């Protein structure tokens, strides 16, 4: 691609851009950061290869593009509470967040973005799929868009039981009981920076439509869950140690493929504070 001042290539027509030759361990210039932000809004998923980053440098880069948030379910790294270790051990069969979802939509202000840095990966497998919810919205008929426009949906942390995959990593330092969260958001949200419309329900956390029961909501939600992850809306990221991926939770969903049993995988995650979906 020639529109950007670095070596890059799209991951698919709908979503994703792989950027090569940028060393994020050295704080990018203001000009480079502005370009990164621009292409992030356009492509929703950015992949940076061969990043040799300490936790401090990962956090410093995150702070150039947003404000890091604290994840409510899992204890952060010692000294870096905003960096969540996402670890699957060889004997485990369930992975973290192992279904299609947008991160923490059960919060009143879900994160605008997530950064994931690969520390240790299996020899094969463990890819992550992403699906553009802007493309998913645009592919709907005019009648369906009109039907969905006024609807709001209930999102709950308890639906996917987000704590169950790594119970031994839950932050229990204060002896607090396991928390649950619930928030109501528009089914179609408007991106606060680009103005694009995107579907904003997901199989992982969306329970029902506001003022309807789960049974009454099930049929339409199931249609949306199937529609929004169609292959033509997707890209696939294959990880290697030092790969850093940043994605826009306001415009896409992701699915971590759980096909690497018997191998250890460790990723370091930072989420960036977002706004109230409108």
Reduced to 3 states, what is the DSSP secondary structure of residue 155?
strand
103 is catalytic: yes
What are the structure tokens assigned to 76, written together?
Answer: 């952060």
DSSP code at position 101: B
269 is catalytic: yes
187 CB-near residues (< 8 Å, 6+ apart) = 148, 151, 152, 153, 199, 200, 201, 209, 224
Residue of 43, 44, 103, 208 marked catalytic: 103
Calculate the alpha carbon distances from 223 to 74, 144, 220 in Å: 32, 11, 5
CA distance from start to end of the chain: 33
Alpha-carbon distance of 268 to 257, in angstroms, equals 17
At what angle are helices 30-43 and 55-65 packed, to 10 degrees? 80
Ranges of H-type helices in 9-97? 30-43, 55-65
Residue of 166, 191, 254, 268 marked catalytic: 254
Residue of 101, 137, 191, 205 marked catalytic: 101
Calculate the alpha carbon distances from 127 to 200, 236, 239, 243, 260 in Å: 23, 7, 6, 12, 9
Name the nearest CA neighbour of 265 among 86, 47, 51: 86
Active site residues: 101, 103, 254, 269
């Amino acid at each position: 691609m020639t529109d950007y001042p670095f070596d890059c290539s799209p991951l698919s027509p709908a979503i994703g851009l792989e950027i090569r030759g940028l060393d994020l361990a050295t704080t990018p210039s203001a000009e480079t950061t502005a370009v990164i932000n621009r292409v992030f809004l356009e492509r929703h998923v950015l992949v940076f290869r061969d990043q040799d980053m300490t936790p401090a440098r990962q956090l410093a880069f995150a702070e150039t593009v947003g404000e890091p948030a604290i994840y409510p379910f899992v204890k952060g790294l010692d000294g870096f509470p905003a960096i969540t270790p996402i670890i699957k051990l060889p004997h485990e069969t369930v992975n973290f967040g192992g279904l299609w979802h947008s991160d923490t939509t059960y919060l009143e202000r879900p994160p605008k973005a997530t950064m994931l840095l690969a520390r240790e990966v299996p020899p094969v497998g463990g890819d992550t799929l992403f699906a553009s919810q802007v493309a998913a919205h645009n592919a709907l008929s005019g009648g369906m868009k009109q039907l969905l426009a006024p609807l709001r949906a209930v999102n709950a942390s308890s639906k996917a039981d987000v704590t169950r995959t790594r119970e031994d990593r839950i932050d229990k330092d204060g002896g607090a009981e396991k928390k649950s969260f619930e928030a109501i958001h528009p089914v179609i949200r408007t991106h606060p920076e680009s103005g694009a419309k995107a579907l904003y329900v997901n199989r992982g956390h969306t329970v029902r439509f506001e003022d309807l029961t789960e049974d009454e909501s099930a049929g339409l939600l199931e249609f949306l869950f199937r529609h929004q992850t169609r292959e033509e809306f997707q890209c696939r990221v294959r990880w290697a140690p030092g790969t850093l991926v940043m994605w826009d939770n306001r415009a896409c969903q992701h699915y971590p493929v759980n096909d690497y049993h018997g191998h250890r995988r460790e990723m370091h995650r930072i989420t960036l504070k977002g706004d109230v979906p409108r």
